[in-house]
Amino acid sequence: MDDFIAARSQMALSLGFHIIFSCIGMVMPFFMAVAHYYWLRTDNIVYKNVTKAWSKGVAIFFATGAVSGTVLSFELGLLWPEFMKHAGPIFGMPFSLEGTAFFIEAIALGFFLYGWDRFNKWFHWFTGVIVGVSGLASGILVVAANAWMNSPAGFDFVNGQYINIDPIEAMFNDAWFSQALHMTIAAFVATGFAVAGVHALMILRGQNVLFHTKSFTIAAIFGCVAAILQPLSGDISAKDVALRQPAKLAAMEAHFHTEKSAPLIVGGIPDEKNKKVDYAIKLPGFLSFLAHGDFESEVTGLDKIPDENQPPVAITHYAFQIMVGMGMAMMLVAILYFLALWKKKNWLTSPWLLKLFVAATPLGFIAVEAGWTVTEVGRQPWIIHNVMRTADAVTPMPGIAYSFYLFSAVYVSLAIIVIFMLYRQIKMVGTLYDKPE
Amino acid sequence: MLYVVITFLWASILLYLLLGGADFGAGIIELFTSRKNKAVTRKTLYGAIGPIWEANHMWLIIAIVILFVGFPVIYSTMSIHLHIPLTIMLLGIIARGTAFTFRHYDAVVDDMQHLYNTIFAISSFLTPLFLGIIAGSAVSGHIDPQADTFLSAYIFSWLHWFSVSVGLFTVAICGFLASVYLIGETNNDQDRLRFAHKAQFFNIAAVICGTLVFIAAYIEHIPLIDWVFGNWVGRIAIISATLSLVWMWSLLYQGKLALLRPLAGFQVTMILLTTTYKHFPNIVILKGGGYLSLLEHSGQEKTMEALALALLIGSVFILPALFYLIYSFQKKPLEHAAKH
Ligand code: HDD
Ligand code: HEM
Ligand code: HEM
């Protein structure tokens, strides 16, 4: 394996791994806070059990998220030293603020996990909320750093020199808001559907039904509200990308030729050599509408982008289709669920709705991974859009392939252990958290 | 503002050494404890660091962020030439952090515990060993930006007697800090005596490894003696550290435990002070006498201002919360934590 490809793969692997844990770390505290709130308010012991069972899971995820994040902060330098040498001082502001957010999160988690029956109960509840708020803040900050790579700001690039650095301007670059909004909602969608799916399965199996129903309801409501908002925020992102990174948009849509009232391509197999898409459904004018809000407007195609600046089309296109497909599917499930809540109460207890949720368990996380693939692969060949090429940023050290194999092995084993432990947690609910009285 | 950032960098390295170090040390003690006493060690350890262990490791993140935002050239040079030890250290961090959590949160207690414990103890040893190797390599003058072979650029930059002995010294320090820390956490004479013996063991180990460091420095022409004894700050620090060590042992034998921890912390602080004072602001010394300096290789002014501000604002939030956390769990230690 070529060192450059190995470095990219290792980065993608580490981030793709970390993102799962960080989504959960950002969102679960809010689920717990709701359950915890109901416990304090209603004295219904089931809510306490739910809170405690979830907090065990969160501790496991938190630790894994924290170590994989620590690895990332070193990997930026280990794999991309030339990038960090120049980018560090410019896009470092969100990272330095993030340090504070992490710290507060770690402290609040200490209070929350170990604080049962030792503090004022509302103080204890509040520390749980702080875990969530600071987790969200760190997510938003790190995404702002990534947005800077898509939409560089806060410096002047003159003769290969980075001058007039302004880290605050860099943090509030043009892409930060749309990306941060979309990512935050994505975390709620993904975690909500994953957690709801697991509890739905347990309800179907008839184990600790009350316990699992309460957990399911909290997770499903969060996930479904977010699933309905997500396509709206995706639309904001798409319009933003059309403006900032026409090459990325063209790759997402496999849009080879610049044209007016461009069609939206659904599905299909992009043929990069002959610059066409086979077997696709085309909705005339819709791409123009999505990108610029006007059915007639012109959308830049890949023909306007010099060959050496074009991102890989197929991967970006497939990834985008997957994300949108998952998004639509989850939105549908969400609509059905709200219909059930408001009008068709009898659906709530019928197995088909629960089965739908079980089927949707992984969709959110698949969409998250696909979305990041769109963002990252679609930015290629740039590491800093239009400023520095990824190939120029990579470490000179040879043999990165071995490091990639090593980290792959470690992450695969970790994933297996985490799944195994989660399985045990769920299996033990009846004995540990929801004991028959 | 530059000096504010440098102070934070130094302080976070020190705090990581003290708090993270005690934490690593607890795992190292497990490695050196006979099987029948392991359980007690583990329980005392958990009661002592459970709530704060996550926070202890945040100091490393703070230090690394300061380095890559404020001193990007230093960060990227170290990342390139110390790639291998950094990677091993990272693997240690992954293994240790996850094993620590898994063993306490696994819903079923069975043979898996044995696996978690083994991984925890071994990685508790490896991680500080490689942290020490990295620190030793930075100042050893073995990093060669002009190197043209794989071995000289990526292996001999860190694999030599001096850095390995610094690594071992770091391990001994961690074990020492943890033993002293745990003495204060025990509630009976027998356990207290056991940890006092451990402290003694690691104290002797630290002296031996420290001697090794000096010998290796001498062989490899590293002017360590001059750094430590060639100036008043170094001499005073070393003398006061030694005196405080003697004082600490006499207090321990009189059974007075209150001052043990501050004294051990003081000794480690003095060691870090002597080893960094003389060649400040140069934190990386290259082959051929070149160096990377905190003063000359810092980011542009606006970056340093923003970074300093972020750190100052951050500490307003972090420090009180952290003290309150430590205070609360000191006042009322965890007893039945595992049951919850
Ligand atoms: C649950 C996850 C999820 C779902 C259902 C969607 N997305 Fe998404 N999307 C993400 C999760 C995500 C993400 C992982 O969070 C990304 C990667 C980078 C980012 O900021 O968000 C992303 C990126 C991303 C981008 C690229 C942004 C950039 O590079 O700056 C666009 C244009 C869209 N999305 C558009 C959509 C549309 C039109 C959707 C319609 C259903 C959609 N997304 C659903
Ligand atoms: C957690 C979500 C993320 C995922 C899943 C992700 C995924 C990826 C992928 C797939 C690549 C390889 C792209 C290619 O080489 O074709 C990549 C590269 C990279 N990403 Fe991300 N990314 C994420 C977030 C971030 C963030 C937040 C940052 C920085 C702040 C970042 C920085 C980088 C860098 C420096 C590279 C290497 C250069 C490159 O190949 O573009 N990523 N990432
Ligand atoms: C889109 C990408 C990312 C998101 C949304 C994200 C979010 C988060 C969140 C919410 C946490 C808290 C841990 C938890 O609750 O499990 C976390 C941990 C961490 N992340 Fe990320 N992160 C991303 C990418 C990165 C990158 C690129 C880096 C490194 C430069 C990084 C470094 C860290 C570190 C060091 C931690 C550990 C902090 C702790 O102990 O709490 N993250 N991340």
* Nearest CB to B101 within list A59, A90, A114: A59
Buried b (16+ CB within 10 A) or exposed e, B284-303: bbbbeeeebbbeebbbbebb
Q: Say which range, A141-145, B41-45, B162-166, has the weakest mean pLDDT.
A: B41-45
* Nearest CB to B83 within list A109, A114, A397: A397
Place of tokens 């997510």: A139
Q: Which among A96, A118, A148, A418 is the top mutation candidate for probing chain B, defined by the most B β-carbons within 10 Å of its own β-carbon?
A: A96
Burial of A54 (0-12, 13-18, 19+ CB in 10 A): buried
Q: Which of B104 and B79 is assigned the larger pLDDT?
A: B79
* Nearest CB to B69 within list A75, A95, A114: A95
Confidence check: pLDDT of A78 > 50: yes
* Each residue's pLDDT tens digit, A204-226: 887 788 888 889 999 999 999 99
Residue of A nearest to B102 (CA): A60
Radius of gyration of chain B (CA): 20
CB contact (8 A) between residue A66 and residue B73 = no
The encoded tokens of residue A63 equal 């630790």
Quick one: pLDDT band at residue B91, thresholds 50, 70, 90?
very high
Q: Is B282 helix (H, G, I), strand (E, B) or coil?
A: strand
pLDDT, position B333: 61
Please give the mean pLDDT across all residues of chain A: 87
The DSSP string of A361-421 is TTHHHHHHHHHHHHHHHHHTTEEETTTEEHHHHS-S-S-HHHHHHHHHHHHHHHHHHHHHH
Cα→Cα distances A321→A263, A300, B120, Å: 15, 19, 43
Please give the mean pLDDT across all residues of chain B: 83
Measure A18 CA to ligand 3 centroid, in angstroms: 7
Contacts of A395 in chain B (CB under 8 A): 79-80, 83
* A402 and chain B in contact, CB less than 8 A: no
Confidence check: pLDDT of A415 > 70: yes
Contacts of B317 in chain A (CB under 8 A): 100, 103-104
CB contact (8 A) between residue A97 and residue B314 = yes
Place of tokens 């060959």: A307
Contacts of A76 in chain B (CB under 8 A): 68
**A161 — phi, psi (to 5°)?**
-105, 145
Cα→Cα distances B325→A100, A118, B91, Å: 16, 12, 29
pTM of the full structure: 0.89
Quick one: pLDDT band at residue A79, thresholds 50, 70, 90?
very high
Q: What is the pLDDT averaged over residues B16-23?
A: 87
* Each residue's pLDDT tens digit, B24-46: 888 888 888 777 777 777 777 76
Residue of B nearest to A54 (CA): B105
Confidence check: pLDDT of A309 > 50: yes
Contacts of A110 in chain B (CB under 8 A): 51-52, 54-55, 325, 329
pLDDT, position A187: 96
Quick one: pLDDT band at residue B336, thresholds 50, 70, 90?
very low
A21: distance to nearest CA of chain B, Å?
13
Specify which of A139-148, A243-252, B103-112 reaches the highest per-range mean pLDDT: A139-148
Domain ranges of chain A: 3-242+316-432
CB B132 within 8 A of CB B167: yes
The proportion of chain B whose per-residue pLDDT surpasses 70, expressed as a percent, equals: 94
Q: Say which range, A78-82, A137-141, B186-190, has the weakest mean pLDDT.
A: B186-190
At how many degrees (to 10) do helices A313-342 and A209-244 cross? 140
Residue of A nearest to B59 (CA): A103
pLDDT, position A16: 92
Q: What is the pLDDT averaged over residues A370-389?
A: 91
pLDDT, position B337: 42
Which atom of ligand 2 approaches the CA of A18 most closely?
A: 1
* A328 and chain B in contact, CB less than 8 A: no
* A435 and chain B in contact, CB less than 8 A: no
**A397 — phi, psi (to 5°)?**
-70, 130
The encoded tokens of residue B278 equal 């003389």
Measure A182 CA to ligand 1 centroid, in angstroms: 6
State how far the Cα of B4 lies from the Cα of A87, in Å rounded to an integer.
Answer: 22
Please indicate whether residue A78, judged by its CB atom, sits closer than 6 Å to ligand 3: no
* Each residue's pLDDT tens digit, A152-177: 888 888 887 887 778 888 888 888 99
Cα→Cα distances B12→A17, A101, B9, B18, B60, Å: 28, 16, 5, 10, 7
B34: distance to nearest CA of chain A, Å?
28
B281 preceded by a cis bond (ω within 30 of 0): yes
Q: What is the pLDDT averaged over residues B44-61?
A: 74
B100: distance to nearest CA of chain A, Å?
9
State how far the Cα of B137 lies from the Cα of B285, in Å rounded to an integer.
Answer: 9
Which atom of ligand 1 approaches the CA of A180 most closely?
A: 20
SS (H, E, C) A128-189: HHHHHHHHHHHHHHHHHHHHHHHCCCCCEEECCEEECCCHHHHHCCCCHHHHHHHHHHHHHH
* Nearest CB to B76 within list A70, A81, A403: A81
**To test the ligand 1 pocket, which listed residue (A292, A361, A374, A385) has its Cβ within 8 A of the most ligand atoms?**
A374
Q: Which of A212 and B337 is assigned the larger pLDDT?
A: A212
Question: Interface pTM (ipTM) of the complex?
Answer: 0.85
Contacts of B106 in chain A (CB under 8 A): 421, 424
* A432 and chain B in contact, CB less than 8 A: yes
Confidence check: pLDDT of B335 > 70: no
Contacts of B152 in chain A (CB under 8 A): none
| CA triple B200-B202-B206, angle to 5 deg | 120
Residue of A nearest to B314 (CA): A100
Quick one: pLDDT band at residue A129, thresholds 50, 70, 90?
very high
